[in-house]
Structure 1
Amino acid sequence: MNAPMHALAGVITEKFILAAPQEAARALASLATHEVLLLIGPLKAQVVVSCLNPMDPPKAAAVLRRLPLKQASYILARLNVEQAAKLWKEFSTPYRERLSAALEPAFVKLLTEANSFSPDSAGRLMRTDFVAVRTESKLSALIERLKSLPRKKLPAVCYVTGKDGELKGFIRTAELAFYTAQSVCGSVMNPAVFLHPQDSAKQARELFLQAETDSLPVVDDKGILLGVLPKESLPAANEKGSLWARLTK
């Protein structure tokens, strides 16, 4: 395929994935792995994530294995946790070892434990694509990072972590305008309430009501930030069942 045709194919593929990711995943999965790589190789990581999330795990794993290690680890860390855990099981032991060296240890541990979480747990429902900065970072660095994101991808909340990735607090994006760019993130952050991966959707709903927020951070037993659970990701509550439970107490 010559360069102009390759570029055109990439544009068409990107538009297809963004408009209908599930259909695009099925269509691409029907192609040979090298053909998929030709089409998605030049695309932005977030577009590739949208395509690989709904793709059949064996095929998605085959595609990811053929990408450069740095790119593959970046994409894997941004897939839905459930899908990432399925791909992890598809990889050979040597490839998992190579990926482990490029990933955060806490995320590797999460992938190995994800299958033990219940389907409605925070660990299975959370997203790993979030914005986090260190306590000693200046707001100017955070602002520059946010400027590089598409407007529809701007998070309502940015998280603040310590040197080992432990959650320290959060900063509301809308409040950045109230501080000077030279302010240190750790000095303007708010205290955060959080979930653990094993926590159920019921526990998450209760915490959402208390915190009055649209997303909650998820941390491991060492307090390391693993992901974020948006309220919209929670399955619908069984109102009839909960009412019946109250009446029969």
Structure 2
Amino acid sequence: MSGNLDAATVKLERRFLIDFPWEAARRIETLPTAETAPTLTRQPADVLAPLWRMLLPETAARLLKRLPDDLACALLGELRPGEALRVFNALKPADRERYLAALDPAIADDLKRLGDFPEGSAGRLMITDIAQFRSTMTAKQALAALRRARAKTARSLFLVDEDNRLTGKVGIQDLAVADPAAKLADIATPVLAYVSPLTPQEEVADLLEQHRLVDLPVVDHDGQLMGVVQHTTLIGALQADASVDIQTMVGASKDERALSKPLFAVRKRLPWLQINLLTAFMAA
């Protein structure tokens, strides 16, 4: 009798996930992962895929790790590459490597290609494991989610709609002093600027300075939030580039360091020394 009841429960859960993925996602996002994972592991990948498209990336990533590896890989294969990348970006690097090794090679190659952004672009600078929130959440729920995510570096909460498109943001200070029952939509402010992952870092710097921002969201061609470029990260990248430019300008190799061996430094600088000697002789 209990076996028949379990089978009926699984069928009902499957029907709900197929017919109401948006409602299921909203409910799952408010529950602990340990409570929802056992229910989801009993469903096939094609049933879970519509739900995963609706989940916040952080929730989707946490639940993915709770699934058996074969089911998780099958689920990633059911998602479109951009959707799978959104979940992938919310995983820790070690988890990404584990799934890439287990995935179908064609799918793994697609994910690697999509995630390989040019040097000096916003895609290379952005932080991807960020918490995203719904405008319907309360301040109390958002604070609880932040604690679960242990988001120590967050300066703003970014809000997304049912298609995970960026809609607004809430400052941490505004959240801290808000009424616990207040909806995030009521304390949110518009997003003044955003960039694509291919935007050059110089343009990112201009926007951060122009709008006096501490972080700048990065969105894909559908307006879905991919990550955030933080002001401190950008400053570090620009300083590193400036150091390389100064080194090469005075004849030092960009690979040279303060503690580099003398022979290495001489070998790298020798062409410049020869040019300087030649021009000195010509001037004489």
Report TM bin, short chain: 0.5 to 0.7
Contact 2:128/2:226 (CA < 8 Å) preserved in 1? yes
1:91 corresponds, among 83, 96, 101, to 101
* Aligned equivalent of 1:168: 167
Contact 1:196/1:220 (CA < 8 Å) preserved in 2? yes
CA distance in 2, matches of 1:187, 1:114: 34
CA distance in 2, matches of 1:204, 1:221: 17
CA distance in 1, matches of 2:238, 2:215: 16
Q: Which residue type is aligned with residue 114 of structure 1?
A: G
Contact 1:208/1:216 (CA < 8 Å) preserved in 2? yes
Give the alignment's Cα RMSD to 1 decimal. Answer: 3.7
Q: Which residue type is aligned with residue 174 of structure 1?
A: Q
CA distance in 2, matches of 1:191, 1:239: 33
Deviates further, 173-182 or 68-77: 68-77
CA distance in 1, matches of 2:242, 2:207: 17
1:168 Cα deviation (Å)? 0.6
1:95 Cα deviation (Å)? 6.9
User: Over residues 194-248 of structure 1, what are the superposed CA-to-partner deviations in whole Å (9 max), with x where a residue is unaligned?
Assistant: 1110001101100110121221110011110011111222212556979xxxxxx
Question: Matches of residues 101-180 of structure 1 in structure 2 within 5 Å?
Answer: 111-115=112-116, 117-150=117-150, 153-180=152-179
Question: Matches of residues 1-249 of structure 1 in structure 2 within 5 Å?
Answer: 68-69=68-69, 77-79=90-92, 87=97, 91=101, 94=104, 111-115=112-116, 117-150=117-150, 153-192=152-191, 193-234=193-234, 235-237=237-239
| Rg larger for | 2
Contact 1:79/1:128 (CA < 8 Å) preserved in 2? no
User: Over residues 146-170 of structure 1, what are the superposed CA-to-partner deviations in whole Å (9 max), with x where a residue is unaligned?
Assistant: 23354x7251111111011100111
CA distance in 2, matches of 1:145, 1:204: 29
Q: Which residue type is aligned with residue 160 of structure 1?
A: L
CA distance in 2, matches of 1:226, 1:187: 24
CA distance in 2, matches of 1:109, 1:138: 37
The structure-2 alpha-carbon separation of the partners of 1:182 and 1:197, relative to structure 1 and needing over 3 Å to count, comes to: same
Q: Tell me the matched-pair count.
A: 162
1:127 Cα deviation (Å)? 1.1
Q: Secondary structure at the match of 2:238?
A: coil
The structure-2 alpha-carbon separation of the partners of 1:233 and 1:154, relative to structure 1 and needing over 3 Å to count, comes to: closer
* Aligned equivalent of 2:13: none
* Aligned equivalent of 1:5: none
CA distance in 2, matches of 1:89, 1:149: 21
Contact 1:88/1:111 (CA < 8 Å) preserved in 2? no
CA distance in 1, matches of 2:147, 2:112: 31
Deviates further, 176-185 or 121-130: 176-185
Deviates further, 219-228 or 187-196: 187-196
Unaligned runs of at least 5 residues, structure 2: 1-64, 77-86, 247-284
The structure-2 alpha-carbon separation of the partners of 1:199 and 1:109, relative to structure 1 and needing over 3 Å to count, comes to: farther
Q: Secondary structure at the match of 2:174?
A: helix
State the identity as a percent. 22
CA distance in 2, matches of 1:183, 1:96: 46
CA distance in 2, matches of 1:90, 1:188: 40
Contact 2:90/2:130 (CA < 8 Å) preserved in 1? no
CA distance in 1, matches of 2:99, 2:68: 19
Unaligned runs of at least 5 residues, structure 1: 1-64, 100-107, 243-249
CA distance in 2, matches of 1:200, 1:239: 15
1:93 Cα deviation (Å)? 5.0
